[in-house]
Amino acid sequence: MPGASPDEFHGGTGFAAWRWLGAHPRHQDGLDGYAFAVWAPHAEGVAVCGDWNDWRGEPLARDARGVWRGFCAGAEPGQFYKLRVVDVHGLAGERSDPFGFAHDLRPGTASRLCPDDTFAWRDARWLKRRAEVQRADRPLSIYEVHLGSWQRWGDAAPGYRELAPLLADHVARLGFTHVEFLPPMEHPYDPSWGYQVTGHFAPTARHGGPDDFRFLVDTLHRRGIGVLVDWVPAHFPRDPHALAFFDGTPLYEHPDPQRGMHPDWGTNIFDYGRPEVVSFLLASAHFWIASMHVDGLRVDAVASMLYRDYSRGPGQWTPNVMGGTWNLEAIAFLRALNRMVHAEFPGVLCIAEESTVFPQVSGEIEAGGLGFDYKWNMGWMHDTLAYFGLDPLWRCHHHDKLTFPFTYAHVERFLLPLSHDEVVHGKGALVRKMTGLWHHGLDQLRLLFGGQWLHPGKKLLFMGQEFGQDREWNQDVGLDWHLCADEARQGLLRWVAALNRLYRDRAALHAGDCDPRGFAWVEGANRDESILVFSRHGGGDELVAVIHHTPVDRPLHLVPVPALGSWRTVLSSALRSYGGDRAGLPPPVEAVVVGGRPMAPLDVAPFAVLVIERVAT
């Protein structure tokens, strides 16, 4: 099949190399066992040791291009194994399989033999409509999840199968279109949250085996919920059982320390100019989509890949061949990744976590772009949270923090993230970032989420924020679900569900997410009252957002609207059902001309988010 031949692996296009590298069940010479293949061109010897041979080791044979192969009779699914590698210096060490599909639970480092993939998928209906559902003009609302702390029972980490119905029910109830998992790949260090990967082809054993993860994905798909995973091609840890100096040489990492070691994270950086390394990474992406049925990859730390001088001072980096700062090999790899994903899996998403002004991250490759479907809008996130950290009394002096992100909202195809990174390492939960009186915290969370859902761009919210958890996230502790017994928290949950429902149901809020014609200012300069008014339109639909950022009650406030006529309120965050104090939606009002422009007398409550529409006449 395409991408699966040894020539393609050694040429940098072996995206299906996971189908033959690693360990695969075989019947050979009348015996059942496993065929093994591992790339280690500078090793002096490689042997497989495991449960079936009492860990004595069976030698593999090297081919002319550095791939070691062999067949081990008697090896059975579920047994543990390691690769005993005698490196270029004659030193022997035991390694996990770079292409292993399962690994021992930490602190164990062995790989585990898996049977052929025979999982009985029941998500054909979802896969058939995936490309349609994930178009840029369709809603994309993501619930970001850390599997180890979403739910916990005592000290036990939940299993994939136990999580599946609970997570599907919660996400469906709130109306999110997708779940995004922090890296579910095998990793040795819990506080890395999965971002220091040692098993690039294996779901972590913390929650079960590969088929258990498939069950989780399948359950979500059958409920109409897409699945994205964080994927980490930017770096890998130096644990001696994994990829680092695999055959005694910098094999997977770049040989130049300036380009092969990450100064911030103490990790190694992949050598994007080495064809086999490119094939390894492409194969990992291909595996998660083809074998695990995920619907997209959120590519982590793209900014660190794009620049040779990332987190490096003078004298700590060297320019590229053109004298610039760009990492040309990494750029070529990212384009190859996006070409492969979109060619092999139409409709599957690639999303870049990229925090700089690198041009055309979501631009077409043929036009010089990187080819991603979306880019995280980190500027919107930073400006918005900085604004909400201001006392409402002084927000009028910083109005541009609200309006500036709209000026570049369509420079890229953006996704608006309120992610795990904003609620950890001393940053506190989102509700604790809301400056002002404590009892205004949940009111302002409704305001924050309302602004996020009405702003152009796709949406992402980290778990726990949907009910206003006021404790900083800790990967070792489950979410504070007991808070949901509070009626105010239930109101916030109902508000998130209402936003998702409106976002999904009304084309005005999603069809123009990536189209500059889908947004227009009605009033963006009202800094004295800290009110934004803008229209969203698409698919023949139009809505107007009124967003008020102070605790002042403004009944019958004259709000600019695009036209005369009768205007009705479609959604209001001030309703009691959401945690406000208004009994119900007000009746439609007639716009009048004031100062030469149409104005509608609206009930603008403290910290209110209103969505209004013109009543057809």
CA geometry: angle 199, 200, 204, nearest 5 deg: 50
Closest CA to 453 of 610, 586, 559, 583: 610
Residue 45 to residue 64: CA distance in whole angstroms: 14
Contact partners, residue 468, CB within 8 Å, separation at least 6: 429, 430, 431, 441, 442, 445, 483, 488, 489, 492
**Token duo for residue 535:** 């229209």
Q: Which residues pair with 125 in a beta bridge?
A: none
Residue 69 to residue 38: CA distance in whole angstroms: 7
- Of the candidates 58, 97, 276, 353, the residue annotated as catalytic is 353
**Token duo for residue 127:** 């896969």
- Whether 550 contacts 395, CB under 8 Å: yes
* Preceding peptide of 107 cis, ω within 30°: yes
* Dihedral angle computed from the Cα positions of residues 426, 428, 433 and 434, in that order, rounded to the nearest 10 degrees: -150
Q: Which helix (H) or strand (E) holds 59?
A: strand 58-59
- Whether 163 contacts 204, CB under 8 Å: no
- Whether 22 contacts 32, CB under 8 Å: no
**Token duo for residue 547:** 């967003």
Which DSSP string do the residues of 199-263 spell out, in sequence order?
Answer: EEEEE-GGG--HHHHHHHHHHHHHTT-EEEEEE--S-B---TTTTTTTTSS-SSB-SSHHHHEET
In angstroms, the first-to-last Cα distance of the chain is 60
| 3-class DSSP assignment, residue 541 | strand
**Token duo for residue 153:** 């029972």
| Active-site residue flag, 300 | yes
**Token duo for residue 345:** 């899996």
* HEC secondary structure over 563-588: CCCEEEEEEECCEHHHCCCECCCCCC
Within 10 angstroms of residue 347's Cβ, the number of other Cβ atoms is: 17
Residue 252 to residue 246: CA distance in whole angstroms: 8
- Of the candidates 247, 300, 412, 613, the residue annotated as catalytic is 300
- Whether 69 contacts 39, CB under 8 Å: no
- Whether 326 contacts 306, CB under 8 Å: yes
Distances (CA, A) of 45 to 51, 80, 192, 600: 20, 20, 33, 80
The beta strands (E) that lie in 74-168 are given as 80-86, 92-95, 111-112, 141-145
| Active-site residue flag, 353 | yes
Distances (CA, A) of 155 to 158, 165, 477: 9, 21, 8
Contact partners, residue 254, CB within 8 Å, separation at least 6: 260, 269, 270, 271, 272, 273
| Catalytic center residues | 300, 353
